Copies of this chain bind each other. A is one copy, B any other.
């Protein structure tokens, strides 16, 4: 936690950007929540500890966290970007329940290998990828 903050501050210094209370609050909220958060949700949480915080600052800071590699952007096709921890968190994919909106993280080594193979075959240099499996989760099915 302390380490992640240091990573961010180092990034700011290197880019001649400034450390501010708002950026601290937003990073804090982001790090403390082990969930996929939208900008709006982060705004709500950050506002609790710093009521003067504005929407634009949340968006700006999330883009910085994305740039420095602390956050990953996730797109579930509902028109909102979600953010999840990236730094020191292994890549994974998502099962997304279309009934309740909850997500389950999954990982498979073989999957990654096949993706690399497909890219190679097409002489394509992959940078990142996103696999979303939509369906109905256990709980919703039994409901």
Whole-angstrom distance from the CB of A20 to the nearest CB of chain B?
29
Contact call B130/A136, Cβ cutoff below 8 A:
no
Q: Tell me how many chains of this kind the complex includes.
A: 2
Among residues of B, the one whose C-beta sits closest to the C-beta of A130 is: B132
Please, how many residues of chain A have a CB less than 8 angstroms from a CB on the other chain?
36
Give the segment of A8-16, A23-31, A62-70, A104-112 that binds chain B: A104-112
Chain A window 100-143, contacts with chain B (Cβ cutoff 8 Å), 1 for yes, 0 for no: 00001010101100110111011111111111111111100100
Whole-angstrom distance from the CB of A125 to the nearest CB of chain B?
5
Whole-angstrom distance from the CB of A99 to the nearest CB of chain B?
10
A134-B127 CB under 8 A given contacts A114-B108, A122-B106: yes
A133-B129 CB under 8 A given contacts A75-B75, A110-B114: yes
Contact call A110/B108, Cβ cutoff below 8 A:
no
Whole-angstrom distance from the CB of A113 to the nearest CB of chain B?
9
- Residue A21 at the chain B interface, CB threshold 8 Å: no
Which of B95, B98, B111, B121 is within 8 Å of A114, CB to CB?
Answer: B111
Whole-angstrom distance from the CB of A34 to the nearest CB of chain B?
18
Chain A window 60-90, contacts with chain B (Cβ cutoff 8 Å), 1 for yes, 0 for no: 0000000000000101010000000000000
